[in-house]
């Protein structure tokens, strides 16, 4: 069993089901309201855990009802929560999700996630040192992301950076990220370019990869699959066809599953295909974590040993 450490955000997701996203200044009637455990860190930890990995989560919640529910849920999923700090000085992070039939829009209030600092990394440094791979995102302070990647890299731990929500990324962060996994929109921000079509996207991917050879770029492209650069050429692993119920958490499932594939030393095409298949399966149920598959479900399709 491989050891995965996730450093990142923990939120309570308030999901509002609507027919369409409201315009600025407009009030519309919603259909249903759900309270679900979320946050990119939490989602990626659950995704990796369901695939049969030993997962430890490092992050912060508030000392409140939402925080208690998140800790209870993660324990039930099998995630080690010893690295999660309950802070009395703030509230648990909240994400408000407007969910339509085919897509969603999200507003995140970080709360306790902003208290996930370098000291918390130091307090859990032995957990990081003993891991096979570390996964992090950008819903916690950037200096914490940078420090966590640095500590992991210095101790021979592989690293994945999911650059979401997209921000400008320092060279120091890239130096310590073995893999970076933006979607198409996030890659536009990272590369400071816009793409009219898939050809322009792929040209930009090749250029970016040549400029940053130590960080492996993987761009998730929704129903079009996931792409990476191999020998100055873009390779795209197609997705499986599924009935889409809810796309929330698909990217997080991809990252948790990629951590599984990389830590198990799968070839690049195998790891990306494994991650894409897990992500596809995850959108067949409502909720960011509800549809995240177990290893047996992915293996049934791919026959990965």
Catalytic residues: 252
DSSP category for residue 297: H
**Integer Cα distance of 53 and 192 in angstroms:** 36
**Residues contacting 103, CB < 8 A, separation 6+:** 247
CB hemisphere CA count around 288 (13 angstroms): 31
| Token representation of residue 280 | 């596809």
**How far, in Å, are 38, 86, 94, 257 from residue 71 at the CA level?**
12, 9, 15, 22
Name residue 106's beta-bridge partners: 97
Listed residue (107, 54, 115) closest to 84, CA to CA: 115
> Are 48 and 259 contacting, i.e. CB atoms less than 8 angstroms apart?
yes
Helix axes 268-282, 295-302, angle to 10 degrees: 120
> Are 194 and 231 contacting, i.e. CB atoms less than 8 angstroms apart?
no
Q: Classify residue 297 by burial, with Cβ atoms within 10 Å: 0-12, 13-18, 19+.
A: middle
| Token representation of residue 298 | 């992915």
Angle 170-216-114 (CA atoms, 0-180°, nearest 5)?
40
Reported as type and span, the H/E element at residue 64 is none
| Token representation of residue 53 | 């990995």
**Residues contacting 212, CB < 8 A, separation 6+:** 174
């Amino acid at each position: 069993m491989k050891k995965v450490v996730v450093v990142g955000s923990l939120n309570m997701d308030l999901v509002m089901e609507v027919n369409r996203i409201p315009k600025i200044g407009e009030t519309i009637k919603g259909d249903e309201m759900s309270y679900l455990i979320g946050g990119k860190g939490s989602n990626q930890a659950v995704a990796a855990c369901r695939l049969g990995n030993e997962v430890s989560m490092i992050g912060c919640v508030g000392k409140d009802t939402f925080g208690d529910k998140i800790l209870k849920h993660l324990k039930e999923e099998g995630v080690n929560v010893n690295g999660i700090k309950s802070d009395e000085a703030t509230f648990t992070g909240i994400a408000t999700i407007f969910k339509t039939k085919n897509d969603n829009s999200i507003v995140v209030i970080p709360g306790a996630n902003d208290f996930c600092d370098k000291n918390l990394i130091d307090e859990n440094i032995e957990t990081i040192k003993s891991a096979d791979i570390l996964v992090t995102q950008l819903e916690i302070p950037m200096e914490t992301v940078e420090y966590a990647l640095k500590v992991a890299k210095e101790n021979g731990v592989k690293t994945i950076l999911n650059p979401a929500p997209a921000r400008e990324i320092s060279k120091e962060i890239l130096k310590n990220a073995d893999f970076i996994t933006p979607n198409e929109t996030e890659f536009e921000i990272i590369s400071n370019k816009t793409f009219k079509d898939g050809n322009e996207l792929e040209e930009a991917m090749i250029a970016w990869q040549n400029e940053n050879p130590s960080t492996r770029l993987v761009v998730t492209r929704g129903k079009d699959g996931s792409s990476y650069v191999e020998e100055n050429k873009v390779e795209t692993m197609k997705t499986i066809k599924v009935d889409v119920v809810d796309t929330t958490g698909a990217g997080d499932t991809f990252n948790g599953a990629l951590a599984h594939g990389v830590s198990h030393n799968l070839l690049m095409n195998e790891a990306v295909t494994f991650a894409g298949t897990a992500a596809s399966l995850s959108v067949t149920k409502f909720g960011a974590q509800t549809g995240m598959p177990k290893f047996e479900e992915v293996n049934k399709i791919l026959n990965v040993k």
